[in-house]
């Protein structure tokens, strides 16, 4: 996509919807700054992320601001400043601050993933149910709850054979 004013590659894209009509403008960085449509401070990702975070943490701000991941050592305030987590365990350790943020950005806190259109929604829900049953089975075995493990094993076989049909 090229800039609408010069032939440089467009890096700034604006979509304006007014009166039910959609207008898309593609600009390069220089033209966007020249047209005063882009101010560096307004489009700084860490600043945008920090604004979203601060709206959602409220009362827990003191507690969250002092949090540090024991696995990677990143502080929650470092995440706020840079917009990047240090390791997958940060989702667990910073759950209080991340949950509202993820709900706001992604409209969900559970990763749904993508699937081929021909797979259908039933296949995805069945697959996630099989994964859930496998986890419960592992937990039952580790707790030596063998009757529960046996029940889960039979349920898992049933679900897996139903998925194969």
Cβ within 8 Å of residue 1, ≥6 positions away: 9, 10, 13, 26
Give the separation between CA 42 and CA 48, rounded to whole angstroms. Answer: 8
Minimal CA–CA distance to 60: which of 25, 101, 17, 88? Answer: 101
pLDDT at 114: 67
pTM of the prediction? 0.36
pLDDT tens, residue by residue, 75-123: 888 887 777 888 888 888 888 877 877 787 777 777 666 666 665 555 6
pLDDT at 92: 84
pLDDT at 83: 79
Give the separation between CA 138 and CA 115, rounded to whole angstroms. Answer: 26
- Most confident region among 1-15, 31-45, 65-79, 131-145 by mean pLDDT: 131-145
Domain ranges (residues) in the chain: 12-40, 44-106, 117-164
pLDDT tens, residue by residue, 37-88: 555 445 555 555 555 555 555 555 667 777 888 888 888 888 877 778 888 8
Give the separation between CA 58 and CA 64, rounded to whole angstroms. Answer: 10
Phi then psi dihedrals of residue 140, to 5 deg: -65, -40
pLDDT at 164: 55
Residue 146 has pLDDT above 70, yes or no: yes
Half-sphere CA count of 149, side-chain side, radius 13 A: 10
pLDDT at 148: 94
Residue 34 has pLDDT above 90, yes or no: no
Query: What is the percentage of the chain residues whose pLDDT exceeds 70?
Result: 72
């Amino acid at each position: 996509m090229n800039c609408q004013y010069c032939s440089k590659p467009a890096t700034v894209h604006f979509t304006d919807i007014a009166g039910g009509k959609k207008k898309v403008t593609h600009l390069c960085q220089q033209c966007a700054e020249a047209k005063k449509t882009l101010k560096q401070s307004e489009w700084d990702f860490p600043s945008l992320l920090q604004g979203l975070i601060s709206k959602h943490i409220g009362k827990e701000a003191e507690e969250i601001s002092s949090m540090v991941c024991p696995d990677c050592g990143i502080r929650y305030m470092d995440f706020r400043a840079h917009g990047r987590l240090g390791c997958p365990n940060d989702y667990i350790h910073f759950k209080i601050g991340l949950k509202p943020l993820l709900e706001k950005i992604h409209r969900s806190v559970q990763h749904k993933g993508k699937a081929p259109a021909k797979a259908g929604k039933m296949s995805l829900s069945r697959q996630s149910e099989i994964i859930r049953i496998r986890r419960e089975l592992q937990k039952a075995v580790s707790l030596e709850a063998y009757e529960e493990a046996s029940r889960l094993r039979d349920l898992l076989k049933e679900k897996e054979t139903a998925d194969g049909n």
